[in-house]
Structure 1
């Protein structure tokens, strides 16, 4: 039980009889009422669904029928015994500790077999929803109350937020003005004004939306009759009650989809650029878009039609994967000739003789309602509740091409914007600031968006500017009625509601067909060009603007509820425990020396996100409503990029200089943290970046600033389905690094290789091996395991720093390479159950197996692979077709068109090397991608493994047996061990089954002590 039921248990335990005696003195109970009965019914429904899932799984994958995890899940989901208890019965309650490791294992199981276990597998609410225990009850030695916590790079403020909930004095700082305003909104205002401020946010927000509805209604067509195709479907649905058709003959538009369109330089025709024709990938309700040319050979027009799909195709065989732009090159739907990337960019910037490209509305997303019918074809009605007697309805989403009304609304909006432009510009409300050239902002500049207002279509800009005008008009009234502080808070939250619309209504959004919804501008942490984009409607109760207001209001209520304790203390007259600063983390003069107990930070991750460049998108809008309220924060034209602690090769001139600048600025931050921290204080920082280069730069700054790493702990923190993580060999865990001040430097440096194995190298090996044993219960993914071991190695290294190897200084990379070597050896022992070690394998097989154990068949960074190979004393060499494996090397082929090795004949397909190089990424070649001649004449154990699998796929055991007998008569166990690893680690049920089939045959031959001599043996 969680939530309301759990709260009722606590109340029920205190319930008393009529004579005032406790109902139950030493046990918790739950009294049965209608809510409990509904919960029991819902639980049984859920269990029945889970049982159905397990039966489906066992039917589809018979080999997992005895899987312990599945069996325990099946047992747990047996139906609850009936009949149910009577109302007012008393049920004893037993509390059981949650098992997050098992929940995580179930999630992994579900992901592997592509199913969804409904409900909350953890069995308890998320951690942040649980308020901290009363601090007064904690022993003084363990209480955080009164401690001073600093986060010098606070961002959105999650660290100071939790510190505030624990009763700490909080200091939050961030260089970014957008982040600084967020800190006021997530820490200061909720603690000062409490949940009730939400009423004022909602009240004034509705006034702002009412003005928007009044001024923009003519630019968003109101409810209209549904299209002919939908009406035909409705009439069929209501064939028993045709008089009801008129009642439901109305559509509600929810979104508009746009594509970029250029003029074909060859035929002069309209060339819309769609990178997909999918508009919905919802199971059972998939839709596509058809681009229909008018058939003219010159100056042709393009039209759009929508269609529902059946078995992945349109009614006339249309392919929704069809695209008119790929890799930046377009194709004209009229003459079928290519439109070059340069021509597209030229038209985007308005520099082409063919004119400027345009935003073309190609699809309208709408919905309608229809009644649910009973078996007699009559409408079903609610039988109880506030809607008793009303017809039950269901929403039908559909997609249609734009009509004349839609197109006229766009034209009218563009005219209205032009009419109001000069007035709004004179009042300084239009963000006409130039977009500066930067690492992330170079992309919009390349496609003609030179000002921040160019990120929006005319209708979007009209809507956003109407809201800005409305908020500026309302602000004086809000400040007058609520006072300067509370009024400032309300105006700030209303600007956040506008910001929500800015995020979801721009030329940088994306339409997500899997969810049939618009994705925000920053779904990818960049300004990359979006060939198609979505627009939500601005007016009405279901508008994007109304949604933005509800999102902000709900978020405020949640935050304020979690800070209720801090609010209560302020209401009692206690001084606020929050200090917020906006400045560089390298210099925070407002904080006294040695005044902070804990520094806790989530530092900028090298070149991971260019926060300042991205934040300008919101900054230019926020300063138009908030500048007078926060003059010290909105004093600059754009955000401060010069002092931002990130690696920015555009700002700094080159990748090398960017690395040096990042290291220098991080060193400055760490030095400032040392200044303000007490001598016995603790410094905690979180690090998620998986790049060894980022680790080396961060830790060098840390160690050279006289910090000793005392502990490293991996904590799962990233959303696995995030677009930043998806399809990448990415670190899904943050590593929490704890540091203490170095009291004084050693009088002499430590040695890397000491006499009798006593040097730092040996200590790192011991620390990493101990860490691997400690991490086993956590079931970390291999990349996280490697990153966590970096921390163990750096702990030893920082304690002994400086370290010398002869006359050469040892840098942190050397320590991490040593950790990589230990981890790779461990991986090979682990996945072969100690049957194989690196020394048992040739160099290519050892390296391939190590890569496979860590990254599987996915992509991984060339730099990380190179560092890992160096730790094993194996060279990764780029080779042409037909190379020979010589010495401690692993061959690598560059991927070129046709999936063949560089130097191979055009007709010779497949990669000779087991490793494929493309761009800055590597991956292992699959068996079917390898060159047949190389596998027919294998040079390594990995070649034989992949050749064996390839032969099995071609002709089952009859072809696999002679291949194996020919190539490994004496070392069969090595390749069979590799095959076991392949099946266990490949991560797909089909590959596992394939490996098991081969192993079953060859193991049975070994057990019989003979080779097959007749066909029946095969």
Structure 2
């Protein structure tokens, strides 16, 4: 290992990540990975803003593999280097795709990982001037012995250490947050310790179907987690199963209940109602699926409690009724305003908060959902069913900790849910404490079974616990108990009064949505109480199966270690090391506040198993590197806390990493580019901390991790959700440079970077972010940059200058476009698509500068000057002007027209990529110009704040590779090489 770093110190070698990455493949795989379900490591335990494994795997690989230019004796020419680079990119493309569950896909993935390990081992061996190993096992042994360890000091959900381990390297992770540490341990420490062992559960050995089963990898441990999870479930049902009675259907038959749906209530503020409680329901819709529409109908009934009751309607539900039901009793305007069911009086949010804080908020059962074969049945609730939920509320000291009073995204604290035990109904609390208590009881059963199992028969120290480094029966029982506690946490996420009933989840039957549908603990008015003993969402057996499937597909070899360490105080147990990390993002997410929801339950279940992790009552807050104003005496104090702490953490990383490049993720959002013309504090503060720590930025790579449908639904144009900063240590003898020298050096570098990224097909939003790397690289390679007044230039000021150069570089090239297109770009930048009254004179003046006439522009099909007014036509208006437009039909079409019509058909409900490809096929030579116009329009629209227009152009240029492939298909079908009028033949207009 030391030889690797000694070689690097003597001659730092350029790594692949410092030159290029196959971003399109990485981004596509990262986005698709978000929809992967069973067996994916992210499903072991919820963690917020987890980096996709595909991105982590690719980044670590590119950090460790040499760029071909580092070995000129092996790749002497630029052509040789480019060819080798393409081969390495292909290795990345093969390994980033998460495999499906079928054997063929699993084998393909494993082959790709084996190839990736070899490439890393080859770079290590070349650096040590020795031959690389051959054979999969030899490569792993070599990497474990001589390869560099990878360390993530902000390990979070464990993605980075896990992927380092998958690539054959020793993986280290640490975090301030004990929940994060335990998740990472469960991913990288525990599975290799007990790989290849047969299960210890007696029934697993008895069952004939498992006789002769080869317990490879984590299969044995996974089987035990399933078996003991089932035993835990059976024991719980014996104790509390009577609290979950079956429902009686209209025909008198019985059915298992999936969920009880409740609405919170408060006393009506109308004095005439004499304190009667009324429901606060955000929705009365139960199912919006076609032919299965079902709603809850509140009915005034003088004989009922408080003068009203609920009934369920599931036949002849009209669209109007469904629409009304979807609004519940919500009042007008935003926020928690409701309407009194009895009088129509407004119930204000402040009134509800006061009632909640006073402990006067109640709940009424709205409906019961039962399961039948392949369907749901919705039942009007009875008094008996409501009474069944009124159980004696257990006292749970571990849960008597405060919920977050403030939380980005929303918190329920203001409504009286001020401690964690208040987030659960009495029945939920009873069930969850029963499950939690059974974790310890089940551990003792596992221990007894393991002591008599063949796998641990000759172990030298079977009683040594896991926390002390044990690998015998006691340690095994501790591991199984940990996974069982994760099962309980899955139940906690589905069984709180902050869950809701989702009437129409995409692709699924109506079900209970989990507590953390987003990164917050917001108030939920009509909540769903699930049945842990059903076979539907939130049942315990399913929770056990989710956890077991992750273990079954876990990594079974290699060193892994995770510890609880505060990053600024980290002295690094192993050094030198390769740093790859995903640190907190200024003021974005308060992981500590969110994770307490799980911590209090984990502590209850595991405080005797993981004593060091759960010695506190809650997770540490003040040390967390998040700029939280209310914790650090206002905005300035919060920024100082972040800057100081992040600076210390980064300096510690620099010292531990020797000369290896560091990879640091930042949750970059497009909105962070500018905020009213000023760079946002998060991005600038983070980069300032990087520079202050003595690091030099070599590159910035945008990693897109959001699903395209989420991007469209949110209306944002920010495709890249993370930027990976590639850094090296700044030389100690770095000199000072003046601002004018800095600007002179900046301009050609920015221009070249934009050109290189354009040639590489990097989409425009990503291109801007990627170009920041070379710019900030120039800034950070100097000790500091001197302003004209001799002051030290800040990162925020440097970023402003860099962005100015990026703007200029991105706008270059339009001078070669046709004059109509150049005029349209300029007009749009000034006026958009709005009608400019009395704007004809201005238009004529502008047209003259492009050597154009008013008549020529009016006949162009993209502009209209009439009656003294002027207007640039929208895509819809252009279609109305010429519904049959195509390049082949328009003998003198402009690039603007082609771009607008491609955008129009691309975003149509039908056709999309294929129709855009057919237009491109008719004039392939215009493609680069169309892309340039799309990129420029995105820039202009973004600066104008026209998010919908920016999104349209963003999506078009992002999909360009797909459009080009569609154009290839169209050309093969004869479009572009033969008359194509028929392809765009619309019916004659009346």
TM-score by length of 1: 0.62
Please tell me whether residue 989 in structure 1 is matched to residue 908 in structure 2. Answer: yes
Given that residues 308 and 314 in structure 1 are in contact (C-alpha distance below 8 angstroms), is that contact kept between their aligned partners in structure 2? no
Q: 1:392: which partner in 2? A: none
Aligned residues: 711
Please tell me whether residue 521 in structure 1 is matched to residue 519 in structure 2. Answer: no
Q: 1:299 to 1:136 in 2, by over 3 A?
A: closer
Q: 2:793: which partner in 1? A: 810
Q: Residues of 1 paired with 2:816 and 2:105: CA distance?
A: 36
CA drift at 1:627: 1.1
Q: 1:281: which partner in 2? A: 288
CA drift at 1:970: 13
CA drift at 1:597: 3.3
Given that residues 524 and 724 in structure 1 are in contact (C-alpha distance below 8 angstroms), is that contact kept between their aligned partners in structure 2? no
Post-superposition Cα deviations, 1:917-958, rounded to whole Å, max 9, x if no partner, equal: xxxxxxxxxx7xx8x8x757799889x99xxxxxxxxxxx9x
Q: 1:318 to 1:579 in 2, by over 3 A?
A: closer
Q: 1:299 to 1:209 in 2, by over 3 A?
A: closer
Please tell me whether residue 664 in structure 1 is matched to residue 635 in structure 2. Answer: no
Given that residues 257 and 362 in structure 1 are in contact (C-alpha distance below 8 angstroms), is that contact kept between their aligned partners in structure 2? yes
Unpaired segments of 5 or more residues in structure 2?
1-88, 127-131, 133-138, 196-217, 451-472, 674-679, 848-858, 879-893, 920-987
Which residue among 547, 556, 564 is the counterpart of 1:564?
Answer: 556
Given that residues 296 and 325 in structure 2 are in contact (C-alpha distance below 8 angstroms), is that contact kept between their aligned partners in structure 1? no
Trace 1:285-304 onto structure 2 (pairs within 5 A): 285-294=292-301, 300-304=307-311
Q: 1:293 to 1:824 in 2, by over 3 A?
A: farther
Which residue among 326, 329, 339 is the counterpart of 1:320?
Answer: 326
Q: 2:58: which partner in 1? A: none
Given that residues 711 and 718 in structure 2 are in contact (C-alpha distance below 8 angstroms), is that contact kept between their aligned partners in structure 1? no
Q: Residues of 2 paired with 1:622 and 1:970: CA distance?
A: 61
Given that residues 711 and 719 in structure 2 are in contact (C-alpha distance below 8 angstroms), is that contact kept between their aligned partners in structure 1? no
Post-superposition Cα deviations, 1:947-998, rounded to whole Å, max 9, x if no partner, equal: xxxxxxxxxx9x99976463349999999987876665577428999xx9xx
Which residue among 691, 701, 704 is the counterpart of 1:716?
Answer: 704
Q: 2:444: which partner in 1? A: 476
Q: 1:456: which partner in 2? A: 424
Higher helix share: 2
Q: Residues of 2 paired with 1:971 and 1:498: CA distance?
A: 59
Given that residues 839 and 868 in structure 2 are in contact (C-alpha distance below 8 angstroms), is that contact kept between their aligned partners in structure 1? no
Q: 1:534: which partner in 2? A: 528
Q: Residues of 1 paired with 2:304 and 2:444: CA distance?
A: 60
TM-score by length of 2: 0.64
Q: 2:683: which partner in 1? A: 695
Q: Residues of 2 paired with 1:274 and 1:773: CA distance?
A: 52
Q: Residues of 1 paired with 2:870 and 2:91: CA distance?
A: 46
Q: How well do the aligned residues superpose, as a CA RMSD in angstroms?
A: 4.4
Given that residues 428 and 496 in structure 2 are in contact (C-alpha distance below 8 angstroms), is that contact kept between their aligned partners in structure 1? yes
CA drift at 1:616: 0.8
CA drift at 1:456: 0.7
Q: Residues of 1 paired with 2:649 and 2:821: CA distance?
A: 42
Q: Residues of 1 paired with 2:579 and 2:684: CA distance?
A: 21
Given that residues 661 and 728 in structure 2 are in contact (C-alpha distance below 8 angstroms), is that contact kept between their aligned partners in structure 1? yes
Which residue among 862, 865, 869 is the counterpart of 1:967?
Answer: 869
Trace 1:94-173 onto structure 2 (pairs within 5 A): 132-133=113-114, 135=117, 139=122, 140-141=125-126, 144-145=143-144, 146-173=147-174
Please tell me whether residue 740 in structure 1 is matched to residue 746 in structure 2. Answer: no
Q: 2:225: which partner in 1? A: 201
CA drift at 1:521: 1.4
Q: Residues of 1 paired with 2:747 and 2:382: CA distance?
A: 74
Which residue among 653, 656, 663 is the counterpart of 1:676?
Answer: 656
CA drift at 1:466: 1.2
CA drift at 1:716: 2.9
Which residue among 305, 311, 314 is the counterpart of 2:312?
Answer: 305
Q: 2:10: which partner in 1? A: none
Trace 1:393-472 onto structure 2 (pairs within 5 A): 395-411=374-390, 414-415=391-392, 417=393, 421=394, 425=396, 428=397, 430-435=398-403, 437-440=405-408, 443-472=411-440
Given that residues 597 and 682 in structure 1 are in contact (C-alpha distance below 8 angstroms), is that contact kept between their aligned partners in structure 2? no
Q: 1:213: which partner in 2? A: 237
Q: 1:686: which partner in 2? A: 665
CA drift at 1:639: 0.6
Q: 1:751 to 1:508 in 2, by over 3 A?
A: same
Q: 1:584: which partner in 2? A: 566
Q: 1:746 to 1:280 in 2, by over 3 A?
A: same
Trace 1:234-383 onto structure 2 (pairs within 5 A): 249-266=253-270, 267-268=272-273, 269-294=276-301, 300-307=307-314, 312-314=319-321, 320-321=326-327, 323-325=329-331, 326-350=334-358, 356-369=360-373
Q: 1:628: which partner in 2? A: 608
CA drift at 1:539: 1.8
Which residue among 455, 477, 486 is the counterpart of 1:487?
Answer: 477
Larger deviation, residues 256-265 vs 805-814: 805-814
Q: 1:796 to 1:128 in 2, by over 3 A?
A: farther
CA drift at 1:665: 1.4
**3-state DSSP class of the match of 2:476?**
helix
Q: Residues of 2 paired with 1:350 and 1:360: CA distance?
A: 18
Q: Residues of 1 paired with 2:109 and 2:819: CA distance?
A: 45
Of structures 1 and 2, the one scoring higher in RCO (CA 8 A, sep 6+) is 2
Q: 1:979 to 1:360 in 2, by over 3 A?
A: farther
Q: 1:400 to 1:971 in 2, by over 3 A?
A: closer
Q: Residues of 1 paired with 2:871 and 2:535: CA distance?
A: 75
Which residue among 736, 750, 754 is the counterpart of 1:769?
Answer: 754
Q: 1:178: which partner in 2? A: 179
CA drift at 1:328: 1.3
